[in-house]
A and B are shown apart, each in its own frame.
Chain A
Amino acid sequence: MADIKVTGDLFVPSDIDHTLSEKIARKSTSVWKDAMRRFVQNKGAMVSMVIIAIIVVMAMIGSVLSPYDIDDQDLTRSNLPPKISTLSWIPLFDGKENGVDTYQQRGITKDFWFGTDSFGRDLWTRTWQGTRISLIIALVATLVDVFIGVVYGGISGYFGGAVDTVMQRILEIIAGIPNLVWIILLILVMKPGLLAITIAILATSWLTMARIVRGQVLKLKDQEFVLASRTLGSSGGRIIVRHLLPNSLGMIIVNTMFSIPTAIFFEALLSFIGLGIRQPEASLGSLINAGYEILQIHPYQTLYPGLVISLLLICFNIMGDGLRDAFDPKLRR
Chain B
Amino acid sequence: MAYYILKRIGYMLLTFFIVITLTFLSMKLLPGTPFKQQNRLTPEQLNQLMHYYGLDQPVPVQYVRYLWNFIHGDLGGSFQYGMQPVTDFLWQRFPVSLQLGIEAMIVGTIFGILFGVIAGMYRSTTLDWGTMAFSVVGFSIPSFIFAAILQYVFGVQLRLFPVAGWNDPWNHVLPVISLAIGVTAEVARFMRTEMVEVLSQDYIVTAEAKGLASSAIVMKHGIRNALIPIVTVLGPLTAAVVTGSLVIENIFTIPGIGTQFVESVVTNDYPMIMATTEVYAGLYIVTIFIVDILYGVIDPRIRVSGGGK
| A296, B26: Cβ atoms closer than 8 Å | no
Majority secondary structure of chain A interface residues (helix, strand, loop or mixed): helix
Chain A residues with CB under 8 Å of B84's CB are none
* The one of A178, A299, A310, A318 that contacts B145, using a Cβ cutoff of 8 Å: A310
A206-258 with Cβ < 8 A to chain B:
none
> Which residues 158-180 in A have Cβ within 8 Å of B in the complex?
172-173, 176-180
In the bound complex, what is the Cα–Cα distance between A310 and B196 (angstroms)?
Answer: 29
Contact of A185 among B14, B23, B140, B251 (CB under 8 A): B23
A296-B144 Cα distance, complex, nearest whole Å: 16
Partner of B196, one of A176, A269, A333: A333
Decide yes or no whether A276 CB sits under 8 A from chain B.
no
A184-B277, A188-B273, A288-B145 are contacts. A317–B11 as well, Cβ < 8 Å? no
**Interface flags, A259-294, vs B, CB<8A=1, else 0:** 001000100110011110000000000001000100
Determine whether the beta carbon of A288 is less than 8 Å from that of B148: yes
CB atoms of B262 and A273 under 8 A apart: yes
Which residue on chain A has the smallest CB distance to residue B238? A178
Using CB atoms, name the residue of chain A closest to B266.
A274
A176 with B145: CB separation less than 8 A:
no
Given contacts A172-B11, A261-B140, contact A273 B281 (CB under 8 A): no
CB distance from B306 to the nearest CB of A (A): 11
Q: Write out the residue numbers on chain A whose beta carbons fall within 8 Å of the beta carbon of B137.
A: 314
Is there an interface contact between B247 and A189, defined as CB atoms closer than 8 Å? Answer: no
**Contacts known (A185-B277, A292-B148, A333-B193); A317 close to B139, Cβ less than 8 A:** yes
Which residue, A188, A302, A310, has most C-beta atoms of chain B within 10 A?
Answer: A188
Given contacts A185-B22, A188-B26, A302-B148, whether A176 and B285 have CB atoms under 8 Å apart is: yes
Q: Of the candidates B19, B193, B247, which one forms a contact with A269 in the assembled complex, judged by CB atoms under 8 Å apart? A: B247
Bound-state CA distance A63–B41 (Å) is 46
Residue of A nearest to B280 (CB): A181
The residue that B22 contacts in the complex, of A177, A265, A313, with Cβ under 8 A, is A177
Please state if A180 and B145 are interface contacts (CB–CB under 8 Å).
Answer: no
**Residues on B with beta carbons closer than 8 Å to the beta carbon of A181:** 19, 23, 277, 280-281, 284
Q: Find A296's partner among B15, B140, B156 (CB 8 Å cutoff).
A: B156
B220-257 with Cβ < 8 A to chain A: 239, 242-243, 246-247, 250-251
Taken together as a complex, chains A and B put the C-alpha atoms of A181 and B273 apart, in Å, by 10
Given contacts A176-B11, A181-B19, A189-B29, whether A313 and B280 have CB atoms under 8 Å apart is no
Flag whether A130 is at the interface (Cβ < 8 A): no
Q: Which residues of A contact B212 (CB under 8 A)?
A: none
A-B contact count (CB 8 A): 105
Contact among A188, A268, A314 for B30, CB-based, below 8 A: A188
Return the contact of A179 from the options B11, B15, B239 (Cβ within 8 A): B239
Q: Flag A315-329 by CB within 8 Å of B: 1 or 0 each.
A: 011100100000000
Contact B152 A274 (CB under 8 A): no
User: In whole angstroms, what is the CA distance A186 to B11 when docked?
Assistant: 23
Tell me the complex Cα distance, A272–B145, Å: 10
CA distance A313 to B22 in the complex (A): 31
Q: Is A306 close to B, CB under 8 A? A: yes
How long is the Cα–Cα vector from A113 to B87 in the complex, in angstroms?
51
CA gap between A333 and B198 in the complex, in Å: 11
Is B15 a contact partner of A176 (Cβ separation < 8 A)? yes
Chain B residue at minimal CB-CB distance from A317:
B140
Least CB distance, B172 to chain A, in whole angstroms: 21
Beta-carbon contact of A314 and B243 below 8 Å: no
Q: Is B297 interfacial (CB 8 A cutoff)?
A: no
Contact of A314 among B15, B136, B266 (CB under 8 A): B136
Is there contact, CB below 8 Å, between B141 and A310? yes
B75 at the interface (CB under 8 A from A): no
Kindly state the separation between the CA atoms of A200 and B246 in the bound complex, as whole angstroms: 17
Q: Does A309 contact B (CB under 8 A)?
A: yes
* Interface status of B162 (Cβ within 8 A of chain A): no
Q: How far is the CB of B44 from chain A (nearest CB, A)?
A: 29
Q: Are B14 and A314 in contact (CB under 8 A)?
A: no
> CB of B142 within 8 A of chain A?
yes
Flag whether A36 is at the interface (Cβ < 8 A).
no
State whether A313 and B141 are in contact (beta carbons under 8 Å apart), knowing that A176-B11, A177-B22, A296-B156 are contacts in the complex.
Answer: yes
Task: For A306, give the chain B residue with the smallest CB separation.
Answer: B145
Q: Which residues in A have their C-beta under 8 angstroms from that of B265?
A: 184, 188, 274-275
CB distance from B204 to the nearest CB of A (A): 15
Which residue in chain A gives the minimum CB-CB distance to B15? Answer: A176
Q: Is the CB of B288 within 8 A of A176?
A: yes
- Say if the beta carbon of B208 comes within 8 Å of chain A: no
Q: Is the CB of B15 within 8 A of A269?
A: no
Other-chain residue from A180, A188, A273 in contact with B280 (beta carbon distance below 8 A): A180
Are A313 and B140 CB-contacts (below 8 A) given A173-B18, A177-B22?
A: yes
26 contacts between A and B (CB under 8 A): A176-B12, A177-B281, A178-B243, A180-B239, A180-B242, A180-B243, A181-B19, A181-B280, A181-B281, A185-B26, A188-B273, A261-B140, A268-B144, A269-B243, A274-B265, A274-B266, A288-B144, A292-B148, A295-B156, A310-B140, A310-B141, A310-B145, A313-B141, A313-B142, A314-B141, A317-B140
**Apart from A188-B26, A189-B26, A288-B144: 20 A-B pairs, beta carbons within 8 A:** A173-B18, A176-B11, A176-B12, A176-B15, A176-B284, A177-B284, A178-B281, A178-B284, A180-B242, A180-B243, A181-B23, A181-B277, A181-B281, A181-B284, A185-B277, A273-B262, A295-B151, A310-B140, A317-B136, A321-B136
- In the A-B complex, the 7 residue pairs with the smallest Cβ-Cβ separation, listed nearest first, are A176-B15, A178-B284, A313-B140, A314-B140, A185-B26, A333-B196, A180-B243
Residues of B that sit less than 8 Å from A by CB: 11-12, 14-15, 18-19, 22-23, 26, 29-30, 136-137, 139-142, 144-145, 148, 151-152, 156, 193, 196-197, 239, 242-243, 246-247, 250-251, 262, 265-266, 273, 277, 280-281, 284-285, 288
